[in-house]
Amino acid sequence: MRITGTAEAVEPVSQYLLWDDRMECYRAEGRYYGVIVLTLHRLKAPYQDDARLFETQQFQTTNDFPPRPHQEKALQAWLKAGRRGVVVLPTGSGKTLVARLAITHTQRNTIILVPTIDLLHQWYEQMCEAFGMDVGLLGGGENRLETITISTYDSALIHMERIGNQFGFMVCDECHHLPAANTRMAAVMSIAPFRLGLTATPEREDGAEEDLYALLGPVVHRSEITELEGTFLAPYRLETVPVVLDPDEREAYDTAYAQYRGFAQASGISFSHPNGWTRFIQVCARSREGRAAFAAYRMQKQLARASRAKLRMVWLLLRRHNSEQSILFTDDNATAYTIGETFFLPVITHKTKVSERKKMLDAFRQGKIPSVVTSRVLNEGVDVPEVSVAIIVSGSGSVREHVQRLGRILRPREGKQAVLYELVSEDTAETYTSERRRQHLAYMSKP
């Protein structure tokens, strides 16, 4: 981009610029392209734009579903905000349609970023069908650019320095992933002035959602699960199932719990303090007693996560819902495989090969396998319409994780009543973890 005039000519946009001695020119991150051009344009300052390689397009959808009220509201709010911002909609409430409408309203070369290969393929199929044209793909072994291109965040990160000026509109699906240290560079290097973020849960435990808003724009619309339940989302009920440990496991749990808590107390560590956990790890590493305390911590956690009583309860629920498909969620891979080996069920973790995962999910969609066990990979972004039962065998205290897990069973279907079971080992630290993760309207509004 060439700005003509004296040194003062760059003054209005100087906050976005850095002088590069090596090339003797100013440099700016791609993300500031829109604001720089807009500022210069408004000031009628002369400039030559060699950065932009995207064009105005004539995208037309071939099958026009009328948007539902919440989708229309989201679109209008985004347009009003200058075609930048984050739309928060629950899983299953039609985020893709909002993106499709935004693309037809914006009419610029568009890149859609997604976090997983599964989502890459889902978006590809939906966009090809919606626009009746070939859509580009980056990731999963594909490297083909079209006027609408779908890319994984990882591939976008690799290619953005080359293709960052070819798209005027950027859609980020499951955009709460964007603020990660490396991933955010995909949005930094892109010059797309128009940006749309889609997510069910923008809030992050590390507080990095502020970075998300800086990269894409603020939250412009939010619909909650409770607003859409029964109309555009399946009605659901929640059942917290207390699990009583067997006497021997109870005794082992209590001993281990007392040992690690006692050690923490003696070391002056409070777990309610923000650095409590980090300090505990540090202190544990320093002495034999500390290492024993850490082993005790791991043991009590494992007992609470996957006790014999929990496995019996899982079997009971599987039999109770033997005519329905279900997803079983765990907090760790070891428990997922224990369940898989005990009940001869498919386990999908990050260790599962992509080809086998696809095979399993295809069979699951076709109803050829009854249930899937997973630790975290199915928390979000996998479209499994027929599932109406979710069993949380164990989980973290993350509200986002818990809301996303609920979202897996909310895709509406005629006559569907979804149910989410949460197994909680009674009188263990799990009770507190469960309370923490249920701090969301979707859970708090239910008895």
- Contact positions vs another protein (CB under 8 A): 18, 20, 22-23, 27, 29, 50, 162, 182, 185, 188, 285-286, 288, 291, 294, 312, 315, 318-319, 322-323, 337, 340-347, 351, 353, 356, 359-360, 363, 368-370
Closer by beta carbon to another protein, 286 or else 413: 286
How far apart (Å, rounded) are the C-alpha atoms in residues 372 and 375? Answer: 10
Minimum distance of another protein from residue 352's CB (angstroms) = 9
- Write the CA distances from 113 to 77, 121, 139, 160, 395, integer angstroms: 21, 12, 10, 11, 27
Closer by beta carbon to another protein, 98 or else 309: 309
Minimum distance of another protein from residue 264's CB (angstroms) = 17
Closer by beta carbon to another protein, 182 or else 272: 182
Q: Where are the beta strands (DSSP E) in 244-345?
A: 326-329
Minimum distance of another protein from residue 189's CB (angstroms) = 8
Contact between 202 and 179 (Cβ < 8 Å): no
Minimum distance of another protein from residue 301's CB (angstroms) = 15
Closer by beta carbon to another protein, 157 or else 409: 157
From the list 267, 289, 266, the residue with the least C-alpha distance to 278 is 267
Task: Kindly state the DSSP code that residue 285 receives in the 8-state scheme.
Answer: T
Minimum distance of another protein from residue 355's CB (angstroms) = 8
Minimum distance of another protein from residue 44's CB (angstroms) = 26
- Contacts of range 252-259, beta carbons closer than 8 Å, 24 or more positions apart: 252/299, 252/300, 252/303, 253/300, 253/303, 253/304, 253/428, 255/296, 256/296, 256/297, 256/299, 256/300, 256/303, 257/296, 257/300, 257/428, 257/429, 259/292, 259/293, 259/296
Closer by beta carbon to another protein, 7 or else 181: 181
Minimum distance of another protein from residue 188's CB (angstroms) = 7
Closer by beta carbon to another protein, 117 or else 334: 334
Q: How far is CA 275 from the centre of its chain?
A: 26
Closer by beta carbon to another protein, 44 or else 353: 353
User: How many Cβ atoms sit within 10 Å of the Cβ of residue 249?
Assistant: 17
- Residues composing the chain: 447
